[in-house]
Structure 1
Amino acid sequence: MSGYVVVVERDEAGGFSSWSPDLPGCVAAASDYDECLRLMTEAISMHVEGLRADGDPVPPATAMAAVIVPAA
């Protein structure tokens, strides 16, 4: 299965925001983690559809995984 890696970050207010390194400008935010992922999934779909509709190339998914590395 291939797809775009999504990075989810917690904001100062306790909500969540997400973005994809392969799709600059494609973002989503919500107060709930699951909702943030749902909105990001929709955002990616709409972003890719928009690129295709405009005749722009769709970036390939190049990121393999997001890994959390413990702080030293």
Structure 2
Amino acid sequence: MRNYIGLIHKDADSDYGVSFPDFPGLITAGINLDDARAMAEEALALHIEGLTEDGEAIPEPSTLEAVMADAENQDGVAILVGVKTEAKRAVRVNITLPEDVLKAIDAFAEAQGLTRSGFLVRAAKHEIGHAKDDPNDNYADTRLGA
């Protein structure tokens, strides 16, 4: 289990907001402190799951000292938000692709902010999911070992 710093913010006439300095843009909220904490755990878990599925790196948790040293974070109340991370073992593979396809993959991945591996993981999962969802795709049954 990893613990990340969440910062609770509360303005007058608002719910309790939670932001994560290690994951810019990830925010959630709850109607009370307990709800905010529960929502923070769920939001963080889903965000990390999405990063993992996209083949993106999961940042190491920052220290409380590092988070609170940033002037932007000093208005928040720091809490530890735990998340279970299943380390999926990455396996290096060697594949052969036509040069034009590789160039297209690299260009598309870069435009989307992905690595080549992240893009290929996303593309493979998309195709597998599509094949499983199409009842008329008999070829998918043989390809997926069904």
Note whether the superposition's TM-score is higher than 0.5: yes
| Residues 17-32 of structure 1: pairs in structure 2 closer than 5 A | 17-32=17-32
1:47 paired residue number: 47
Q: Any runs of at least 4 consecutive aligned residues in structure 1 with deviations exceeding 6 A, and if so which?
A: none
Unaligned runs of 5+ in 1: none
2:33 paired residue number: 33
1:64 paired residue number: 64
Offset of residue 11 of structure 1? 2.1
Is contact 1:22-1:63 (8 Å) kept?
no
1:7 paired residue number: 7
TM-score by length of 2: 0.42
Unaligned runs of 5+ in 2: 69-73, 75-146
Offset of residue 15 of structure 1? 2.0
TM-score by length of 1: 0.80
Q: Which has the higher contact order (CA 8 A, sep 6+)?
A: 1
Structure that is richer in helix per residue = 2
Q: CA RMSD in A?
A: 2.3
Deviations 1:6-62 (A, max 9, x none): 100112214200011111121111211110110011000000000000011111101
Cα distance between partner residues in 2 of 1:14 and 1:24: 21
